[in-house]
Structure 1
């Protein structure tokens, strides 16, 4: 059911829009003056979804004046990619480049695209598939942003400059930017019956964000005050890669060797870094990596492994690979072991993954997440014993190692989880109904 909690009544616009631009999925929600909220649903070949996959696919069509570049987004982008009947460029999870000062642009056919160009193109496809239900130029807009952007040295100011530039192209004027876990907190707060100090943990695809919120009853209504925020650029994608790196990469030649004159050298690891996200494999066709792998295969000690890697790239099997990874990871959330199976063409990779091994692989990332939890408690000046509820949201919150981290720190009885990935967008839209919504601005 949509949330029925809203901030204090206001003279805000009758409808406000919350946009949760995510690494893997983007969700848009509407909130009304009556405190109700609903998510924008998309009809993709008869399948109704409230999430719009954060992906773009560019291809060329021949017109009277020559070649024209076309673009699709969401599940329609994946359709175009899998069709593969023409030259194309597929891009997913590009949110992870928002705060990267080293990412200046990418070339797509004959055009150059900066991050803001990609985001604007994606938003246009989203609006188009909303079928006139979404007008970004005439509504009160609240946009979510991570507490900490993904990347090694994220530039927060640069990311926000890029966000503003992209949204302005869609007609968005003076939006309110709110930390994503604060949006999730507003979603959760509809269930609170008394005053409480709440830790909200939002696990996305690229970042894990945390906020401590104080909720209090005042004049019969629930008021909220953010006490502190923290985050880390690690989340579900990193856990996926731990499976790829241990199970898949060695079978594709990682760790093997090749001959160079009278020496044996290790296959360079940088080729396997592209396996961190499946869409990057398609880029290897045009950036020289595929040619490099073919050259290495001629002198490799185990050429058959590199030939399988080449096959995955040539036949665009990255999507199927990561579907197999995701299936195994989800199974490990409820089972002590899971079967991993990835087949296609001459490739047949099968393995049994034990949960204890998976947890050992992700232990360094879990430790970094725990450090971020320490930081949010310190910044909010709130000891763990004073946290009365812990609201966990996002698919990674169901990973047993993550849940155990919070249970050991705060007690299992304080934990509340939801698999409703619309929660952030709902909360953002509801914040838009608050006459003092700027106080929530990040």
Structure 2
């Protein structure tokens, strides 16, 4: 394992669900940073924060990140705030700040706190950071109207103390560098990165080993649909009907369908924990009062008040993983008056996400059109990111390119590896997004 003192560059894959860091090893390769402690999960650091009130802490609020955030939450869920997928709001102008224990936190505030704890848990390997930091960014940010200029400003503020030379590179290009190390002959490759918040594509021409410039990017594209959207589909089908979605409420002398805004927020991991604020809870209480059937809205209130976001996320994740290997699986969730036990067929799940997959495929077509590449001109397809393990996604690529051209591996770590390799180049700025 290479020490941080010998590293000339650092690759940071700050993901919606997980974050991974790699350091150059001085020998043309890179090594992942692994974390130390009983709660550590190897090189994968969950992109999550937990806050709780503590008199001795700065301004009376303590925090943890990564798997340690999960442990803190599980020890005292009612007295904490668990925030995950906050990367999803980076490009959202509608998100200004989150009130946590009545203290405002901007995106960059949460990001800085997250990185501080990531460094602290790295066992000393990040105590002295390389000046050059290569940061992955999506080709297209998540959100309804993503603002890439705003996202860049927020990233810059988040990373102000993390390195003196910050270079942003599209995430699939990092994966392309990682995968190209496997190749022994020239090839045109399509990299598909299925993250938590976005799906990104890059087409790259890879030269023979030893070439002055091994990788040449041809085109990229992306879309703000990925693992969290698939989670949303599960919540929408199995949970939200029990929380009042589709129900009616009284407005003067009319019966109207309950608006969908609170349901959309509830099914969005980046917003669910932030619903536990005075204003939102008061709005839900009024909605419960006016609802024809108040009991489902009462269930939603109870789930929010009792911080059931993580258990719900965990149940959805277990279902998705099971459906990646089985034709059907059980969805089980129990908390605060909501008990769900449902058998879900893989075919049903694939129906729920079918429109999302069509839009993802259209984004891939856009990258190929920009590169002037037909399917037969693609020599290799590299699938990375956790959601690439969903069978319907693999099947989509097999139909287009054939199973023999598809490669996988390092689903959670390939981007960080490749970003560090880019950082070791003489002019990594050539890859800047």
TM range (shorter): over 0.9
- Which residue among 365, 368, 379 is the counterpart of 2:359? 368
- Residue in 2 that maps onto 1:7: none
CA contact (8 A) 2:86 2:270 kept: no
- Which residue among 67, 71, 76 is the counterpart of 1:75? 67
Q: What TM-score do you get using the length of structure 2 for normalisation?
A: 0.92
Following TM superposition, by how much is the alpha carbon of 1:159 offset from its aligned partner in structure 2, in angstroms? 1.2
Quick check: which one's strand share is greater? 1
List aligned pairs for 1:33-432, cutoff 5 A.
33-45=26-38, 47-63=40-56, 68-84=60-76, 87-135=79-127, 137-170=129-162, 172-217=163-208, 219=210, 223-278=214-269, 280-432=271-423
CA contact (8 A) 2:24 2:31 kept: yes
- 1:369 and 1:85 mapped to 2: Cα distance? 36
Task: Give CA-to-partner distance per residue, 1:90-110, whole Å, 9 cap, x none.
Answer: 322111111122222333345
CA contact (8 A) 1:81 1:90 kept: yes
- 1:40 and 1:21 mapped to 2: Cα distance? 13
Following TM superposition, by how much is the alpha carbon of 1:122 offset from its aligned partner in structure 2, in angstroms? 1.2
- 2:328 and 2:214 mapped to 1: Cα distance? 44
- 2:34 and 2:330 mapped to 1: Cα distance? 33
Q: Secondary structure at the match of 2:214?
A: strand
- 1:300 and 1:167 mapped to 2: Cα distance? 46
Distance 1:241 1:218, change over 3 A: closer
Following TM superposition, by how much is the alpha carbon of 1:295 offset from its aligned partner in structure 2, in angstroms? 3.3
Deviation larger for 240-249 or 412-421: 412-421
Distance 1:102 1:285, change over 3 A: closer
Task: Give CA-to-partner distance per residue, 1:355-388, whole Å, 9 cap, x none.
Answer: 2221121111111111110111011121121001
Q: Tell me how large the CA RMSD over aligned residues is.
A: 2.3
Q: What TM-score do you get using the length of structure 1 for normalisation?
A: 0.90
- 2:238 and 2:232 mapped to 1: Cα distance? 10
Distance 1:241 1:216, change over 3 A: same
- 2:382 and 2:56 mapped to 1: Cα distance? 53
Q: Secondary structure at the match of 2:353?
A: helix
Deviation larger for 420-429 or 294-303: 294-303
Q: Secondary structure at the match of 2:143?
A: coil
Unaligned residue ranges in structure 2 (runs of 5+): none
- Residue in 1 that maps onto 2:19: 26
Count of residues in Structure 1 that have an aligned counterpart in Structure 2: 429
Q: Secondary structure at the match of 2:81?
A: strand
